[in-house]
Amino acid sequence: MPNTATLRPSGLGAGSLLTSLADLLHGWLPRQRWFAGKGRPVTELALLSVTELHPGCLHLLVHAGHAEPPSGEHPLHDCYQLLLGAHETLPPHLAPAAIGRPTEGPLAGLMVYDALQDPRSAALLLERLRTPGTAGALAFERDAKVLLPSGLTPRLLDAEQSNSSVVYGDTYILKVFRRVQPGINPDLEVPGALARQGCTRVPAPVAWVRTSLPWDATLAVLQPYLRGAEDGWAQALGTLASGADFTDEAYELGRATAEVHLALAAAFPLEYPDRRQHRELASAMRDRIDAVARAVPQLQPYAPALGSAVGALAGLDAARPAQRIHGDLHLGQVLRTGGRWHLIDFEGEPARPLPERRRAQSPIRDVAGMLRSFDYAARTGRPWRPEWSQRCREAYCAGYAAAAGWDPRQEPELLRAHETDRAVYEVLYEARHRPDWLPVPMAAITRLAERPPAGSRRPTP
């Protein structure tokens, strides 16, 4: 590659590399779908680690900090994973990957670009995983039982994602985590544990990338690609458009969720929350309502009523044991192939700290996430179809009950509290990422803020 710059970290010095890139990253990072600090200017940038993956391709962990915004939210600090290439000129197929041409520092005059969009760099990543080893602080590891084939053609997914994924020859998919936190990522930990339980509802990790600098963290996970699978969101919208029924699928989805929960309960320790823990959970949910209401003024009028909905948790005695769960379950996280549902993306809610996402939680939280998703689908399709959502919600709970042996509808306070917490999360998510969608969770907020009928033990799910 005659016009490839050799980016040698040893010859670059983190300071001078950052000088080269800082202006470009200030502009480029906030435009990325996976950038978490939407709406907040980046006020600090620091390079946490730099590794040369191959000549012309650098692996970077970059710290991006935001000053405290006027709304009173906490300052946000994040670490992002970048793969950067630099060429004198970019071939036309890499034009959309361009980040910019630094005017100073070691990369001055070269065109820096997002190397994950470069098929050559993506192919070399898979090569690294085929033959385990290290590159600086990065470790490329794989399941010793799996032999990865060479020469699979890479293609970067252009899905609306929180991370970036590369599909190799429709055989494997590599998820490169964009936002990196210290510790094992649950998207490696949980599917690995489920595979050891013999659970076939979740694709098992076959290879992964870790780093030990600036701390131990998971950087990427490779798993089998479910060829021809369609996600639940696309299917749900399809039936809404065609008028077809989705209740059988919703019932099967409930069964699949329960099966995964049973396997998770067997794989990880259970916890039995007492009254104090329920009070703490209710208080954490109230804090979240207040924080989101400060950031999204539309939520403010509903905050007191939502606080009462989650406050009902505080009076609960022993409920279901808490266990590891999916943590961000919705119709986009379930794939159907061969008439069978699979669950993917066990990262949990990307905005939450990793230790919180790895905690045992009520399985009702996942149920609530999926119930919210039926509501999303019914409101996104035109016209609004509340009866479609209601039938799916009932069928999903019935399917769940058939496999789990208990019915989520028998825990109405818990379900309502978790659905409220989830809708509040969605309000912030939409305000940050897709302001046009804000009315969807806000409609649920209006419903959840109403008092449930007196004496009702089994409100509509």
Ligand X SMILES: O=P(O)(O)O[C@H]1O[C@H](CO)[C@@H](O[C@H]2O[C@H](CO)[C@@H](O)[C@H](O)[C@H]2O)[C@H](O)[C@H]1O
Ligand Y SMILES: Nc1ncnc2c1ncn2[C@@H]1O[C@H](COP(=O)(O)OP(=O)(O)O)[C@@H](O)[C@H]1O
Footprint of ligand X on this chain (CB under 6 A)?
Answer: 160-162, 233, 328, 330-333, 345, 349-350, 372-373, 376, 426, 429
Give the residue with the Cβ less far from ligand Y, 191 or 307: 191
Q: How far is the CB of 231 from ligand Y (least distance, A)?
A: 5
Q: Compute the least distance from the CB of residue 292 to ligand X, in Å.
A: 13
Whether the upstream peptide bond of residue 383 has omega within 30° of 0, thus cis, is: yes
At 33, which amino acid appears? R
* Closer Cβ to ligand X, 114 or 328, answer by number: 328
Please report, in angstroms and rounded to a whole number, the separation of the first and last CA atoms in the chain: 59
The reply to whether omega before 214 is within 30° of 0 (cis) is yes
Q: How far apart are CA 18 and CA 46, in angstroms?
A: 7
- CA 46 to centroid of chain Cα atoms: 24
The interface partner of residue 344, options being ligand Y, ligand X, none and the CB cut-off 5 to 8 Å by kind, is ligand Y
> Which is nearer to ligand X, 54 or 422 (by Cβ)?
422
- Per partner kind, with CB cut-offs from 5 to 8 A, the member of ligand Y, ligand X, none near residue 323 is none
CB closer to ligand Y, 54 vs 336 = 336
Q: Which is nearer to ligand Y, 226 or 264 (CB)?
A: 226
For residues 150 and 256, give the distance between their C-alpha atoms in angstroms, rounded to a whole number: 33
Binding residues for ligand Y (CB under 6 A): 157, 159, 161-163, 165, 173, 175, 203, 223, 225-226, 229, 231, 332-333, 335, 344-345, 347
DSSP state for residue 353 in the 8-state scheme: -
350 vs 461 by CB, closer to ligand Y: 350
Choose among ligand Y, ligand X, none what residue 251 binds, the Cβ cut-off being 5 to 8 Å by kind: none
CB of 162 to ligand X, least distance (A): 4
Q: Which does 331 bind (CB under 5 to 8 A by kind): ligand X, ligand Y, none?
A: ligand X
In sequence order, which residues have a C-beta less than 8 Å from that of residue 256 and are 6 or more positions away? 201, 334, 340, 341, 342, 343
Q: What's the CA gap between 130 and 368, in Å, rounded?
A: 39
Beta bridge partner(s), residue 66: 76
CB burial readout 49-66, b (16+ within 10 A) else e: bbbbbbebbbbbbbebeb
DSSP structure class, residue 168: E
The one of ligand Y, ligand X, none whose footprint includes residue 349, by CB under 5 to 8 A per kind, is ligand X
Residue indicated by tokens 């689908």:
377
Q: Hey, is 372 helix, strand or coil?
A: helix
CB 403 → ligand X: shortest distance, Å?
A: 21
Half-sphere exposure of 137 (CA within 13 A, CB side): 18
Tokens of 349: 């809610």
Q: Among ligand X, ligand Y, none, what does residue 159 contact (CB within 5–8 Å per kind)? A: ligand Y
215 binds, among ligand X, ligand Y, none (CB under 5 to 8 A by kind): none
Nearer to ligand X, 14 or 76 (CB): 76
Report residue 96: phi and psi, to 5°.
-65, -15
| In the complex, least distance from residue 130 CB atom to ligand X, rounded to whole angstroms | 28
Closest distance of CB 426 from ligand X, Å? 5
Which of helix, strand or coil describes residue 47? strand
327: which residues sit within 8 A by CB, 6+ positions away? Answer: 186, 346, 347, 348, 349, 357, 361, 365, 366
Give min distance, CB of 226 to ligand Y, in A.
4
Q: Which of 127, 160 has the CB closer to ligand X?
A: 160
Phi, psi of 73 (to 5 degrees): -70, 165
Task: Pick what 56 binds: ligand X, ligand Y, none; C-beta below 5 to 8 Å, kind-dependent.
Answer: none
Give me the least distance between CB of 173 and ligand X, in Å please: 14
Tell the smallest beta-carbon distance from residue 317 to ligand X (Å): 30
Query: Among ligand X, ligand Y, none, what does residue 257 contact (CB within 5–8 Å per kind)?
Result: none
Q: Which of 333/420 has CB closer to ligand Y?
A: 333
